Amino acid sequence: MIAPYLLRPIIVLGLLALAVGPASTLVNLRRAEFSAETMVHGVFPGIVVGMAVGGRDAIIPGGAVCAALVAAALTAASRKPRHSEATTAVLLTAFFSLGIVISLRIGDMSGQLESLMFGRLLDITPSRMGTSAVVLVVAAALLALTWRAQVAVAFDREASRVSGIPVTWIDVVFNAALGAIVVAASTAVGVLLVVGYLIVPGAFGRLLAAGPRSMVLLAGACALVGGWAGFGVSLLRAPRPLSPQACVAMGVLVCFAGACVLREIRARRARPRPDACETARETSAAGGGEQQ
């Protein structure tokens, strides 16, 4: 039987994969990787304040407040006709710098900086697991309920607006879901490593999938298999201790590397062989000579 302290991370990683499937797919389709990075770094001040005020159990509420502010700022920035990544970069720098300053200002909390950034997968308590589970399920439900509109906006914002889709509200839902996933995962894999979960699975699905729906399934599978496999590797005996969070992130990256190899193998098989091309040309030339 699996020990409770091992079962809780497995459950959280499974629910994270459920929410990451559609979220990472939309990040890839929207080309919103930089916005996802901004969301990941932007919630840091709220997480620091939450931990300073109420301990690790207050990380999610504190991060949620900051995530709402970042989501509102990203949505407002996306509405500008000449939106550029400069605005997003300013948001990322401002929020993350504020979090670092607050963390260092609170003297007895500065030692927890590494824990806040990279998480503690084996220290998940039942209460934090329950809160994370609720937040991740809500994020997945938001994206599922607006999925068709999300895909339409990802492919063509102007056509979606003309067809009557409330693009601004779709952006709000998308950014809110990203913020919820970041906050829920921060107690497990930290606010920095979660960016890999928002970007890599979607890229994995993009390499192998034939459409958005299959991208969601493949992205979720990448997050699930990579996360569980990496967590399993971290439990193996090694000369030096392995970080569970780093192993989980590496597991997802290994899945992506495997997808790159598989994509290359498919591409090589699809290419016509030189000898086959020469045979086809000779056959065509012979057929033309007979007709003459």
Instruction: Please report the DSSP string for 58-72 in residue order.
Output: GHHHHHHHHHHHHHH
Closest C-alpha to 55, from 108, 134, 130, 15: 108
pLDDT at site 56: 72
Would you place residue 24 in the very low, low, confident or very high pLDDT band (cuts 50, 70, 90)? very high
- Would you say 255 and 225 are in contact if contact means Cβ atoms under 8 Å apart? yes
The DSSP symbol for 236 reads S
Altogether, the residues listed in the chain come to a count of: 292
pLDDT at site 289: 53
pLDDT at site 58: 78
State what percent of residues in the chain have pLDDT above 70.
Answer: 88
Higher pLDDT, 89 or 112: 89
CATH number for the domain that contains residue 50: 1.10.3470.10
Query: Cα–Cα distances in Å, from 249 out to 6, 80, 192, 201, 225?
Result: 17, 35, 10, 11, 11
User: How many Å apart are CA 183 and CA 66, to the nearest integer?
Assistant: 9
Answer whether residue 93 is part of any domain.
yes
Query: Cα–Cα distances in Å, from 208 out to 98, 216, 259, 273?
Result: 39, 11, 7, 23
Average pLDDT value over all residues in the chain: 85
User: DSSP strand E in 11-129: where?
Assistant: none
Query: Cα–Cα distances in Å, from 128 out to 132, 142, 214, 239, 274?
Result: 6, 21, 31, 31, 60
Alpha-carbon torsion, ordered 149, 155, 156, 162, to 10 deg: -20
User: How many Å apart are CA 194 and CA 179, to the nearest integer?
Assistant: 11
Can you say whether the dihedral through the CA atoms of 163, 168, 141, 185 is positive or negative? positive
Closest C-alpha to 115, from 168, 51, 64, 60: 51
* Phi/psi of residue 264, nearest 5 degrees: -65, -40
- What is the pTM (predicted TM-score) of this model? 0.85
Q: Give 147-163 pLDDT, tens digit per residue.
A: 999 999 999 988 999 99
Q: Give 122-133 pLDDT, tens digit per residue.
A: 888 888 889 889
* Residue span of the structural domain in which 103 resides: 4-286
Does residue 277 carry a pLDDT above 60?
no
Closest C-alpha to 69, from 97, 45, 85: 45
E strand or H helix at 270, and its extent? helix 244-270
Does residue 290 carry a pLDDT above 50?
no
Q: Looking at the 3D structure of the chain, how many domains does it have?
A: 1
Answer whether residue 204 is part of any domain.
yes
pLDDT at site 288: 54
Answer whether residue 292 is part of any domain.
no
Answer whether residue 277 is part of any domain.
yes
155 CB neighbour count, 10 Å cutoff: 12
- Radius of gyration in angstroms for the set of CA atoms belonging to the chain, rounded to a whole number: 23
The stretches of 163-243 forming alpha helices (DSSP H) are 167-208, 212-234
User: How many Å apart are CA 232 and CA 84, to the nearest integer?
Assistant: 41
Tokens of 112: 């927890």
Does residue 68 carry a pLDDT above 70?
yes
User: How many Å apart are CA 140 and CA 105, to the nearest integer?
Assistant: 36
Alpha-carbon torsion, ordered 232, 199, 137, 62, to 10 deg: 100
Would you place residue 117 in the very low, low, confident or very high pLDDT band (cuts 50, 70, 90)? confident
Answer whether residue 64 is part of any domain.
yes
Answer whether residue 291 is part of any domain.
no
Residue 273, SS3 per DSSP: coil
